[in-house]
């Protein structure tokens, strides 16, 4: 998980990666906790062939 503060003090770039799958979005600081949980579920649902 990577969190990068953007020029707008209220926005952050949130990147979550698990097992070769990665998702990135811009979220408000107040929503970081909830959005990161949702994104983690999405990334964990990705199935890859080995």
Confidence class of residue 40 from pLDDT cuts 50, 70 and 90? Answer: very high
In a domain, 34, yes or no: yes
In a domain, 20, yes or no: yes
In a domain, 3, yes or no: no
20 in Cβ contact with 27 (< 8 Å): no
Cα(43)–Cα(22) distance, integer angstroms: 7
In a domain, 39, yes or no: yes
Examine the pLDDT at 47 and tell me if it is beyond 90: no
Examine the pLDDT at 49 and tell me if it is beyond 90: no
pLDDT tens, residue by residue, 7-38: 988 899 999 998 889 999 999 999 999 999 99
Cα(22)–Cα(18) distance, integer angstroms: 6
Q: What is the CA radius of gyration of the chain?
A: 12
Domain coverage including residue 27? 15-43
Q: How far is CA 47 from the centre of its chain?
A: 18
Structural domains counted in the chain: 1
pLDDT at 32: 92
Cα(4)–Cα(46) distance, integer angstroms: 24
Examine the pLDDT at 2 and tell me if it is beyond 90: yes
pLDDT at 8: 81
């Amino acid at each position: 998980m990577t969190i990068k503060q953007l020029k707008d003090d209220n926005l952050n770039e949130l990147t979550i990666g698990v097992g070769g799958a990665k998702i990135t979005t811009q979220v408000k600081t107040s929503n970081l906790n909830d959005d990161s949980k949702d994104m983690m579920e999405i990334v964990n649902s990705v199935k890859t062939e080995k």
